[in-house]
A = this chain, B = another copy of it.
Amino acid sequence: MIGTARRRRDGEAKVRGTTRYVGDMPVYGLLHARPVLAADAHARLNGIDTSAALAVPGVVAVLTHADLPLAGGSGRAAEPLAREEIVWAGQPVALVIAESEAAAEDGAALVDVDAEPLEAVLDLEAAIADGAPLARLSEKAGEDESAASAHGGGEGEGAATSGNLAVEQHLTNGDAAAGLAAADHVVKGRFRTNWVHQAYLEPQSTLAWVEPDGTLVVHSSTQGAFMARQGLANTFGLPMEKVRVQAAPIGGAFGGKLMISEPLAAAAALKLRRPVRIVFSRREDFAAGNPAPGQLIELELGATADGALTAIRGRIMGDRGGLGDMGVEAISTMLSAGPYRWPAHDLTALGVSTNRVSPGAYRAPGAPPAAFAVETLMDELAQQLGRDPIDLRLQNVLTAGDKGIDGQEIVVFGARECLERVREHPLYAGRDQLPADEGVGVALGFWPGGLEPAGAICKLDSDGRLTIVTAAADMSGIENAFIAIAAEAFGLPEESVRVTTGDTASAPYGGVAGGSKVTYTYGRAVERAAEEAKQRLLDAAASELEIAPEDLEVADGEVRPLGAPARAISIADLAAKTYTFGGRHRPIEGYGSSAQISRAPGAAVHLSHVKVDRDTGEVRLLAHVIAQDVGKALNPALVEGQMHGGTAQGMGWALLEELSHSEDGQLQGGTFAEYALPSTDQVPPIETLLIEVPAPDGPFGAKGVGEPPVCGVPAAIANGIAAATGIRLDVLPMTPVRVWAELQNAPVV
């Protein structure tokens, strides 16, 4: 069962269109919600005239912030509609609720927002300069008397230099200044990276209603049912048992489907006591979703002449947008050191409020920018040292027993094995024999892997088949992983195993599907649940056969006495004997849980073969190799799918994608027609090399595989460009105009 490539269990339904997404759910008496988005990036909200909208036939209500039954909480969830201040162009300011989608849309067009423009804050550095205008004048939701300290000191230590500095944190060890001073070689750079739209196919979608007993029921395209329950309970002041969240099938999510549309639909349902659905239009999703934020990374690395790293110093800024409640700067800072041994480090994370959309966690949040910076500099360092770039990395890369930059000991880490594997690849070996303007870049990306407790149930049904119950949202075929794990642990063929996604009221707890942790955390819970259920199966068989459980084995759908297979009893028969009046066996069910405390970081090494057109600046990707440590590929087909997908997203991040704003903060573009996702002809063949360095605590050795593949792609491409042309780009995306300008030694656009 483990290690065999199999089709996605949910594939056929998705291809046939029979998957019932939130937007497809038929609901009696459903109302449709359409948000009214702010036109200004920063403005004082003086009033909203809803009269024309309310006059549209079919419009039931037009809700503004004051109408919402909010009770508390903080951040975006606590302020689903702008209060007295608009802080980004695209911020929802009103919600039109109507009997039809068309009426809601007509109504939304007629809502008149009276807003008085304020100076917009858009540049990260200017935002934190002395005397900079504030991106937000009013208190944030959830702020109390300690608001000043939050504005000032943020979550970390240190003094703030501006009211726009939402967070400042320092990550230091040893004397980095001395380390750099003592270094034989120092490389440094200043890297600016792009806002990137999450670009899932299904937009943010939530359906909510209130049961007659007051229970708020939410079906949502969410990555975290329990997280949504907690957030909604906080936001609306509801007891936990009065919120029930069902994770619906997800039409794509990369970290962004967490409490964006839920508070809107829930607020309207609570207010109107009717079912309400909101499905963002594509334009709304671009303007009011939660993309990866722009970052500015300044980094300085030192090394001795023999290649030993001495110190790293830097400042990692992340845009927190208008609400300032979420940022990637902390994790990005940790990742900016790369997976290397540093005798000393001095890194500062700055989270900055601006008048942009609030950012979210997009596949390996903060990692591609961090790897872009540090891997570019490692490449440059190898160049300065005249060293093979892989050898230099191998010399310094973290391995088991080392301590990471967070001070935690590394238990298992396959970066070394990935580097070694790629070094042998013909593309790498032949990289110096390429035609002019072609080059091969190498880069190492890694992701620490999230951790969160999880529970699971495995229950044998009366037909002798096994059902797994968890609350995990399935974004990437996780159903298959669970099935493989349970099938192997219990002893049934995969065809006899199925998965149910339970809601928060009935399923065991489980964390957000994100952080590349579902297999690693839920998977272990599933394994244990299946093992416990198997023990019940053996107990039942032992009782029926009058043979001790330890003298039995499970095989081919039967429980067999060891050495006496003819006396076997089928699992289906045991099930039938169990689930019946007077059944003498306990249900053949098990519960399992995990609270992983040992991380199993994932690493991926990329080779990017690029060709640069010196006349146009266009970068063409000719070939790509990714070697990823996956621990153990439970289903290689799906693991390869993750590697392909992550790599392709990295290519978009590197060369094409940018959610850009004009100087006054207006989103430029906002549809897939204008937003440059990589198309199939822009993605070269991707060769996937699966490296298996088993995680001791992972199910069958598996590690998270979703995020590692995206991290190193922009860096590998940038290093490929450098190999092809000698120029180094420090801005993402590396568009033709930027590459061309750099080739001309002209100022970067």
The proximity string for A residues 582-617 relative to B, scoring 1 for CB distances below 8 Å and 0 otherwise, is: 111111011101110100000000000000000000
Whether, in the assembled complex, A239 has its beta carbon less than 8 Å from a beta carbon of chain B, the answer is yes
Please give the distance in Å from A525's CB to the nearest CB on chain B.
Answer: 8
Whether, in the assembled complex, A382 has its beta carbon less than 8 Å from a beta carbon of chain B, the answer is no
**Which residues of chain A in 532-590 are interfacial with respect to chain B, using CB atoms and an 8 Å cutoff?**
532, 536, 578-587, 589-590
Choose one: B212, B502, B594; the contact of A506 (CB below 8 Å).
B502
Q: Which B residue's beta carbon lies closest to that of A241?
A: B498
Please give the distance in Å from A329's CB to the nearest CB on chain B.
Answer: 17
Once the chains bind, are B594 and A591 in contact (CB under 8 Å)?
no
Whether, in the assembled complex, A7 has its beta carbon less than 8 Å from a beta carbon of chain B, the answer is no
Once the chains bind, are B20 and A578 in contact (CB under 8 Å)?
no
Q: Which B residue's beta carbon lies closest to that of A510?
A: B587
Which of A67-75, A91-99, A370-378, A452-460 faces chain B? A452-460
Which of A22-30, A181-189, A481-489, A687-695 faces chain B? A22-30
Whether, in the assembled complex, A160 has its beta carbon less than 8 Å from a beta carbon of chain B, the answer is no
Which of A129-137, A168-176, A334-342, A461-469 faces chain B? A461-469
Choose one: B457, B506, B509; the contact of A500 (CB below 8 Å).
B506
Once the chains bind, are B455 and A587 in contact (CB under 8 Å)?
yes
Complex formed: what's the CA distance from A394 to B433 in Å?
104
Once the chains bind, are B582 and A505 in contact (CB under 8 Å)?
no
Choose one: B27, B457, B462, B500; the contact of A226 (CB below 8 Å).
B462
Instruction: List the B side residues contacting A469 at CB < 8 Å.
Output: 505-506
- Say yes or no: A240-B20 contact (C-beta < 8 A), given A27-B28, A226-B579: no
Instruction: List the B side residues contacting A587 at CB < 8 Å.
Output: 453-455, 508-509, 593, 595
Once the chains bind, are A20 and B459 in contact (CB under 8 Å)?
no
Whether, in the assembled complex, A725 has its beta carbon less than 8 Å from a beta carbon of chain B, the answer is no
Once the chains bind, are A459 and B28 in contact (CB under 8 Å)?
no
- Counted per complex, copies of this chain come to 2
Whether, in the assembled complex, A19 has its beta carbon less than 8 Å from a beta carbon of chain B, the answer is yes
Complex formed: what's the CA distance from A505 to B579 in Å?
15
Number of interface residues of A (CB under 8 A): 65
Complex formed: what's the CA distance from A532 to B590 in Å?
12
Once the chains bind, are B590 and A452 in contact (CB under 8 Å)?
no
**Which residues of chain A in 508-539 are interfacial with respect to chain B, using CB atoms and an 8 Å cutoff?**
508-509, 511-512, 515, 532, 536
- Say yes or no: A457-B508 contact (C-beta < 8 A), given A26-B29, A212-B18: yes
**Which residues of chain A in 200-234 are interfacial with respect to chain B, using CB atoms and an 8 Å cutoff?**
211-213, 226, 230, 233
Once the chains bind, are B463 and A509 in contact (CB under 8 Å)?
no
Q: Which B residue's beta carbon lies closest to that of A460?
A: B509
Instruction: List the B side residues contacting A28 at CB < 8 Å.
Output: 26-30
Whether, in the assembled complex, A250 has its beta carbon less than 8 Å from a beta carbon of chain B, the answer is no
Complex formed: what's the CA distance from A234 to B455 in Å?
32
Instruction: List the B side residues contacting A673 at CB < 8 Å.
Output: none
Instruction: List the B side residues contacting A591 at CB < 8 Å.
Output: 457, 532, 589-591
Whether, in the assembled complex, A272 has its beta carbon less than 8 Å from a beta carbon of chain B, the answer is no
Choose one: B212, B462, B584, B589; the contact of A597 (CB below 8 Å).
B584
Once the chains bind, are B585 and A240 in contact (CB under 8 Å)?
no
Please give the distance in Å from A449's CB to the nearest CB on chain B.
Answer: 11
Instruction: List the B side residues contacting A502 at CB < 8 Å.
Output: 502, 505-506
Please give the distance in Å from A499's CB to the nearest CB on chain B.
Answer: 9
Once the chains bind, are B453 and A583 in contact (CB under 8 Å)?
yes
Whether, in the assembled complex, A390 has its beta carbon less than 8 Å from a beta carbon of chain B, the answer is no
Instruction: List the B side residues contacting A453 at CB < 8 Å.
Output: 578-579, 583, 585-587
Please give the distance in Å from A29's CB to the nearest CB on chain B.
Answer: 6
Instruction: Pick the most buried of A17, A239, A508, A586: most chain B CB atoms within 10 A of its CB.
Output: A586
Once the chains bind, are B452 and A583 in contact (CB under 8 Å)?
yes
Whether, in the assembled complex, A451 has its beta carbon less than 8 Å from a beta carbon of chain B, the answer is yes
Instruction: List the B side residues contacting A511 at CB < 8 Å.
Output: 581, 583
Whether, in the assembled complex, A450 has its beta carbon less than 8 Å from a beta carbon of chain B, the answer is yes
Whether, in the assembled complex, A436 has its beta carbon less than 8 Å from a beta carbon of chain B, the answer is no
Instruction: List the B side residues contacting A505 at CB < 8 Å.
Output: 467, 469, 500, 502
Instruction: List the B side residues contacting A579 at CB < 8 Å.
Output: 226, 230, 453, 509
Choose one: B212, B452, B465, B589; the contact of A509 (CB below 8 Å).
B589
Whether, in the assembled complex, A746 has its beta carbon less than 8 Å from a beta carbon of chain B, the answer is no
Whether, in the assembled complex, A118 has its beta carbon less than 8 Å from a beta carbon of chain B, the answer is no
Whether, in the assembled complex, A13 has its beta carbon less than 8 Å from a beta carbon of chain B, the answer is yes
Once the chains bind, are B241 and A467 in contact (CB under 8 Å)?
yes
Once the chains bind, are A461 and B240 in contact (CB under 8 Å)?
yes
Complex formed: what's the CA distance from A582 to B406 in Å?
14
Choose one: B213, B461, B467; the contact of A18 (CB below 8 Å).
B213
Instruction: List the B side residues contacting A578 at CB < 8 Å.
Output: 453, 595
Complex formed: what's the CA distance from A668 to B595 in Å?
65
Complex formed: what's the CA distance from A293 to B19 in Å?
46
Complex formed: what's the CA distance from A578 to B593 in Å?
12
Whether, in the assembled complex, A507 has its beta carbon less than 8 Å from a beta carbon of chain B, the answer is yes
Once the chains bind, are B20 and A581 in contact (CB under 8 Å)?
no
Once the chains bind, are A241 and B465 in contact (CB under 8 Å)?
yes
Instruction: List the B side residues contacting A500 at CB < 8 Å.
Output: 505-506
Complex formed: what's the CA distance from A617 to B453 in Å?
71
What are 30 A-B pairs with beta-carbon distances under 8 A? A20-B211, A20-B212, A26-B29, A28-B28, A28-B30, A226-B462, A233-B463, A240-B463, A241-B498, A450-B581, A451-B582, A452-B580, A452-B582, A453-B578, A453-B579, A453-B585, A454-B587, A457-B508, A467-B505, A502-B502, A502-B506, A508-B587, A511-B583, A512-B581, A532-B591, A536-B593, A586-B593, A587-B595, A589-B591, A590-B591
Enumerate the 10 nearest inter-chain pairs by beta-carbon distance, A residue then B residue, closest first: A591-B591, A18-B212, A26-B28, A502-B506, A240-B463, A509-B587, A586-B595, A28-B28, A455-B587, A586-B593
Beyond the given pairs A13-B213, A469-B505, A578-B595, 17 more chain A to chain B contacts, judged by CB atoms under 8 angstroms and listed by A's residue number, are: A13-B212, A19-B212, A28-B30, A233-B463, A240-B465, A452-B580, A453-B583, A453-B585, A457-B591, A462-B509, A469-B506, A502-B506, A508-B587, A511-B581, A584-B597, A586-B593, A587-B593
